[in-house]
Amino acid sequence: MWRGGLGAVSIGIALTALPWAHAQAGPKKPAKAAAASKAAAPKAAAKSGSAKTSSAKAGKAGSATKADVRREPPRGKRAIAENKRDAKVASAKDSKKGGKADRVRATVVAKGAKGKSRAQERAERLAARETRVTLRHAVHTPREAPAPRLSIAQAAGLHHAGDALDLKSSVALVLDQDTHEVLFSKNDHAVLPIASLTKLMTGLLVSEARLPLDELITITDEDVDYEKGSSSRLAVGTTLTRGELMHLALMSSENRAAHALGRTYPGGLQRFVGLMNNRAAALGMKDTRYVEPTGLSSSNRASAIDLATLVGFASQDPLLRQLTTSQGYEVAVGSRVLTYNNTNRLVHKPDWQIGLQKTGYISEAGQCLVMQARVAGRKVIMVFLDSNGKYSRLADAERVRRWVENERPSSTFAGNGYAG
């Protein structure tokens, strides 16, 4: 009795102390059931193998989902790296899409512009066609050319006066310098603008004053012609000697040079102009008046008789003779060398013996020319005012020279016949 009780107690303690073994092992099976389960185990294993194969095939579709579920969210540096990678991929995709869209838009715009230009071309062709049709059937009305500006002599009708030599100048005077005989005259008492013939008096005063010819003179803004806008190659700031300025003024009719000579004369420009008028009066030039030293002003006026007197007196000055008949002259202006030519082509002709000359032109005066030359052994003074063209004044001089050589006149010959 005691043995059985002790064994029961020990078995109970053992079972009580190991309850987990009960749960893991489960209820004890009968022997027959265990044998049956052992026999069925291979079949179950085979079935489970086939089940695994089918589940593997089916599980491919859901593998990504399972992987996402299994993967833990990135943390730390790994998370930052993956975020950057994802951002780059997304940006590349967006730029690819955007670039394609931009190309599409550019293509559309280009096609639209091309279509627009074609439409404009069609419109222009139609307009040109209509214009041609209109011009073909229109009555052409020629536009009237503007009337040429008349000189003061032409406005007075002096150019209508005929003469035996068929001169193109409205005023002409030819006289023997030694005998003072008037060989030919045409409107010689008319008082007209004399343009750059004025510079003869300018040069005469400077020469008579015996001012130093090597003195430097600078062109200033005061020497610029703002009234008529005449051109000059002597820019403001150019510095030349007085002798160089005289040469350019008398040979090439350089206006700024002539104005600078008067401006720098002792006493200034106003005094210089006063001396010009005083000298003219002293020479007996009763119809002469000067207001400035260049001749750009139409208020500088004289008659052909007065100009012949001035030419006769100026031709006795060796400096004026040399400067007015010089064929060309060069002056150094900074790093440049300016070349000037004589405004009178006759000084280049070997068959002319010219002692002194001066040309002039403004629209109010027309083309003008005065000369002292030796013709047929005689010292002849010629004055031509208001000639029709630049070369017609030279042609008039040629006619007069041939006439003097052939006719050898000795009495006064007027434009419309002999004058007592």
Active-site residues: which are they? 196, 199, 253
The structure tokens 């003469």 sit at 163
3-state secondary structure 296-359: CCCCCEECHHHHHHHHHHHCCCHHHHHHHHCCEEEEEECCEEEEEECCCHHHHCCCCCEEEEEE
Q: How many CB atoms lie within 10 A of CB 105?
A: 10
> Rounded to whole angstroms, what are the CA distances from 349 to 193, 344, 394?
29, 10, 12
Whether the CB-CB separation of 398 and 203 falls below 8 Å is answered with no
Q: How far apart are CA 305 and CA 401, in angstroms?
A: 19
The separation between CA 166 and the C-alpha centre of its own chain, rounded to angstroms, equals 46
3-state secondary structure 365-378: CEEEEEEEEEECCE
- Helix pair angle (199-208, 269-282), 10° resolution: 100
